[in-house]
Chains A and B, each alone.
Chain A
Amino acid sequence: TQLLEQSPQFLSIQEGENLTVYCNSSSVFSSLQWYRQEPGEGPVLLVTVVTGGEVKKLKRLTFQFGDARKDSSLHITAAQPGDTGLYLCAGEQETSGSRLTFGEGTQLTVNP
């Protein structure tokens, strides 16, 4: 059983559309991180959320941590081809020390 479930697994949209990616779990996390990975590269950290209900914005990207700290969402407004990539959520639990648990990822393709 995957600890962190991401949905959808694949998403193909047109430039200018909005989208939301979800990261869900039955476990509580002390923090949750979002990464973006482009082909041939390692994941790059986008944001970390640590407080239940927290909302963070990064230009056209909005990240939210659920009130119970079991889930998170990433919303992209007016998607651009440069947003194409694999989006990964990763959770840290209080007992896990420096260890993160990663979701399977959402592969986003934004077509021009």
Chain B
Amino acid sequence: ETGVTQTPRHLVMGMTNKKSLKCEQHLGHNAMYWYKQSAKKPLELMFVYNFKEQTENNSVPSRFSPECPNSSHLFLHLHTLQPEDSALYLCASSHPVGGAGTYEQYFGPGTRLTVT
């Protein structure tokens, strides 16, 4: 299997549930990301991991908890979410390209999350 995969593709959860989103990349990249995509809003960066170390937490509420056990896997643990957390959650991976070290990102298909 190639590219970036995400599971599940769709998730409906209650506000008191605990669930986890999984992302796996088969591209040999060293950086992995979680984004939130809501209607009529730009992609919101949530977390960045480089070589398994979290390098950015973009003021994300603690009800979202990331985990990166190795460079190929990334999880987003969810608990006591709110209805406004309903969105498409996208995982991406990247690596520096070219002499300028540009980070081109490769996205998974996303998990459509609905919080009821």
A residues whose Cβ falls under 8 Å from a Cβ of B: 2, 4, 30-31, 33, 35, 40-45, 48, 50, 88, 90, 92, 97-100, 102-105
Q: Which residues of A contact B109 (CB under 8 A)?
A: 40-42
Nearest first, the 8 closest Cβ-Cβ pairs linking A and B are A42-B107, A102-B43, A31-B102, A98-B103, A98-B31, A104-B42, A102-B42, A43-B107
B108 nearest CB neighbor, chain A only: A42
Q: Which residues of B contact A103 (CB under 8 A)?
A: 42
- Cβ of A108 to closest chain B Cβ, rounded Å: 16
Across the A-B interface, how many residue pairs have beta carbons closer than 8 Å?
65
B42 and A48 contact, CB distance less than 8 A = no
Q: Which residues of A contact B92 (CB under 8 A)?
A: 42
B50 and A98 contact, CB distance less than 8 A = yes
A105 and B106 contact, CB distance less than 8 A = no
- Cβ of A52 to closest chain B Cβ, rounded Å: 12
On chain B, the number of residues with a Cβ less than 8 Å from chain A's Cβ atoms is: 28
- Cβ of B92 to closest chain A Cβ, rounded Å: 7
Q: Which of B61-69, B72-80, B93-101 binds A?
A: B93-101
A52–B22 Cα gap in the complex (Å)? Answer: 38
B102 and A48 contact, CB distance less than 8 A = yes
Q: Which residues of A contact B94 (CB under 8 A)?
A: 98
- Cβ of B94 to closest chain A Cβ, rounded Å: 6
- Cβ of A104 to closest chain B Cβ, rounded Å: 5
Q: Which residues of A contact B50 (CB under 8 A)?
A: 97-98
Say whether, besides A2-B42, A50-B98, A103-B42, A45 and B108 are in contact (CB < 8 Å).
no
